[in-house]
């Protein structure tokens, strides 16, 4: 009995995008899906009730940060992450690898794992495939991620070859160390940068280990979007059709649609919550920086085409006032709206797949949002 089940419901005749259903020990949700990020066992300023209300079926938490604070033992003592944070939906935890490899000046990679310094206090720490599994088993997430090497972008072919081989060896060690296979599903992570031969090798190595799901890692790390799309085009065909596919760290509206068209089922990103804290919101006609002076007397909703409770009840002028005064409620409103916007976008993507018209939907959305404009770099 596997902890994670995936059912392919339909393939879009126009684009090849997949409509599917993932079942975990805690919930069932349709894909393609966007997962809000709750790094420290909270999606910043949002309550679990609000996340459920806006339609989030699965959220993400961060192994590295929860290991440091409060410690996996405390979470385990509380009954696991779900009980600790009072969340009834599904939870995916990353392995901590991305955070550790982001500390490039603080780390040392060996075959055993990674030696690095705690970014909070400078304490020496060591994270290995076995340790990453032990922490995630204690956290009790529905979906765990294998501990992989996250190569820099760009990287030389020689570096990438060695990195992919190490990731494959570490994936085997993760499977060996994973102690709760009936209640927690472990996903392997395909690496290989922008090199087709290494992506193929990584996918081949990992699919031979028969994980219940697969992630495409090493993207959204500074490469142009054309490179990301090209990598997805030659990577997803090597992944099993009967397992979910997860594109890590991607959350801009254009990439969610383009990733879905290229066979991706799951996405996560801090983007909607991070930009919300700066007073930036996503709307049906592009990004809006609500802290700007021109909204001081604008008593219309953030997005007239949005039916979220923020847009039904509060004006741009009021939200601008709150943000400029550093009021937490302002951040709560922009965060709620941004998450709702992306969850609603994915609902529309799923409906477009049902109707075999995701290609048409993409064109309509891009035109309205402004992605087709020459200056559309920061959307």
What's the CATH number where 40 sits? 3.20.20.105
Choice between 376 and 110, residue whose per-residue pLDDT is larger? 110
SS3 85: helix
pLDDT for the residue 247: 99
> For residue 4, which of 32, 17, 23 has the smallest C-alpha distance?
23
Confidence of residue 100 (pLDDT cuts 50, 70, 90): confident
Strand pairing report for 107-109 and 143-145: unpaired
Known binding-site positions: 94-98, 148, 191, 218, 306, 308, 311, 337
Q: Is 94 a catalytic residue?
A: yes
Q: Which of 213, 241, 269 is the last residue of a domain?
A: 269
Residue 97 lies in a domain: yes
Task: Measure the N-to-C terminal CA separation of the chain; round to a whole number of Å.
Answer: 42
pLDDT for the residue 35: 99
Residue 374 lies in a domain: no
């006032």: which residue's tokens?
Answer: 321
> For residue 307, which of 337, 285, 286 has the smallest C-alpha distance?
337
Confidence of residue 372 (pLDDT cuts 50, 70, 90): confident
Alpha carbon 103 to its chain centroid, in Å, reads: 20
Q: Residues 73, 94, 105, 307: which is the catalytic one?
A: 94
Q: What is the overall mean pLDDT for the chain?
A: 97
Q: Residues 142, 205, 268, 303: which is the catalytic one?
A: 268
Choice between 373 and 204, residue whose per-residue pLDDT is larger? 204
Whether residue 101 sits in one domain with residue 220: yes
Whether residue 93 sits in one domain with residue 58: yes
Distance in angstroms (rounded) separating the CA atoms of residues 373 and 178: 48
Distance in angstroms (rounded) separating the CA atoms of residues 229 and 297: 41
Whether residue 323 sits in one domain with residue 180: no
Given a cut of 90, is residue 106 above it in pLDDT? no
Whether residue 128 sits in one domain with residue 90: yes
Whether residue 116 sits in one domain with residue 36: yes
pLDDT for the residue 374: 64
Known binding-site positions for substrate: 94-98, 148, 191, 218
Whether residue 116 sits in one domain with residue 75: yes
- Residue range of the domain that includes 340: 276-369
Residue 139 lies in a domain: yes
pLDDT for the residue 243: 99
Q: What is the mean pLDDT of residues 295-320?
A: 99
pLDDT for the residue 107: 84
Residue 157 lies in a domain: yes
Q: What is the mean pLDDT of residues 301-324?
A: 99
pLDDT for the residue 103: 78
Confidence of residue 105 (pLDDT cuts 50, 70, 90): confident
Given a cut of 90, is residue 104 above it in pLDDT? no
Q: Which of 269, 296, 325 is the last residue of a domain?
A: 269
Split into its structural domains, the chain has a count of: 2
Phi then psi for residue 268, to 5 deg, are -145, 155
Question: CA 183, 134, 72: angle at the middle one, nearest 5?
Answer: 95
Known binding-site positions for Zn(2+): 306, 308, 311, 337
pLDDT for the residue 373: 73
Q: Which residues of 121-151 are buried (b: 16+ CB within 10 A; e: fewer)?
A: eeeebebbbbbbbbbbbbbbbbbbbbbbbbb
Confidence of residue 378 (pLDDT cuts 50, 70, 90): low
Q: What is the mean pLDDT of residues 60-68?
A: 98
Residue 127 lies in a domain: yes
pLDDT for the residue 376: 53
Q: What is the pLDDT of residues 189-246, one digit of tens each?
A: 999 999 999 999 999 999 999 999 999 999 999 999 999 999 999 999 999 999 999 9
Distance in angstroms (rounded) separating the CA atoms of residues 177 and 349: 37
Distance in angstroms (rounded) separating the CA atoms of residues 334 and 366: 22
Given a cut of 80, is residue 60 above it in pLDDT? yes
Residue % of the chain over a pLDDT of 70 = 98
Whether residue 240 sits in one domain with residue 183: yes
């Amino acid at each position: 009995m596997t902890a994670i089940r995936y059912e392919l419901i339909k393939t879009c005749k126009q684009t090849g995008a997949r409509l599917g259903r993932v079942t975990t020990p805690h919930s069932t949700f349709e894909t393609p899906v966007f997962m809000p990020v709750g790094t420290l066992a909270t999606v910043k300023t949002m309550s679990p009730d609000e996340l459920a209300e806006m339609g989030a079926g699965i959220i993400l938490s961060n192994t590295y940060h929860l290991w440091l604070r409060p410690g996996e033992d405390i979470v385990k003592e509380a009954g696991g992450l779900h009980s600790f944070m009072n969340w009834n939906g599904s939870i995916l935890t990353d392995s901590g690898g991305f955070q550790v490899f982001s500390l490039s000046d603080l780390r040392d990679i060996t075959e055993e794992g990674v030696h690095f310094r705690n970014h909070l206090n400078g304490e020496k720490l060591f994270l290995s495939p076995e340790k990453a599994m032990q922490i995630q088993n204690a956290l009790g997430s529905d979906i765990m991620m294998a501990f992989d090497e996250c190569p820099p972008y760009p990287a030389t072919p020689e570096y990438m070859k060695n990195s992919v081989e190490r990731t494959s060896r570490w994936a085997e060690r993760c499977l060996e160390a994973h102690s709760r296979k009936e209640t927690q599903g472990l996903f392997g992570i395909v690496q290989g940068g922008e090199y087709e031969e290494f992506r193929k090798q990584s996918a081949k190595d990992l699919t031979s280990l028969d994980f219940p799901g697969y992630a495409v890692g090493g993207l959204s790390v500074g490469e142009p979007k054309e490179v990301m799309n090209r990598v997805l085009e030659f990577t997803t065909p090597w992944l099993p059709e009967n397992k979910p596919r997860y594109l890590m760290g991607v959350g801009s509206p254009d990439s969610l649609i383009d990733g879905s068209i290229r066979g991706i089922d799951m996405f996560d990103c801090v983007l909607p919550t991070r930009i919300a804290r700066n007073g930036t919101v996503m709307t049906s006609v592009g990004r809006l920086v609500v802290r700007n002076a021109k909204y001081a007397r604008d008593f219309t909703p953030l997005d007239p085409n949005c039916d979220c409770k923020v847009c039904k009840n509060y004006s741009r002028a009021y939200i601008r006032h709150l943000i400029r005064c550093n009021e937490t409620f302002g951040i709560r409103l922009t965060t709620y709206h941004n998450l709702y916007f992306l969850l609603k976008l994915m609902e529309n993507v799923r409906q477009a797949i049902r109707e075999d018209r995701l290609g048409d939907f993409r064109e309509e959305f891009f035109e309205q949002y402004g992605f087709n404009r020459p200056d559309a770099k920061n959307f």
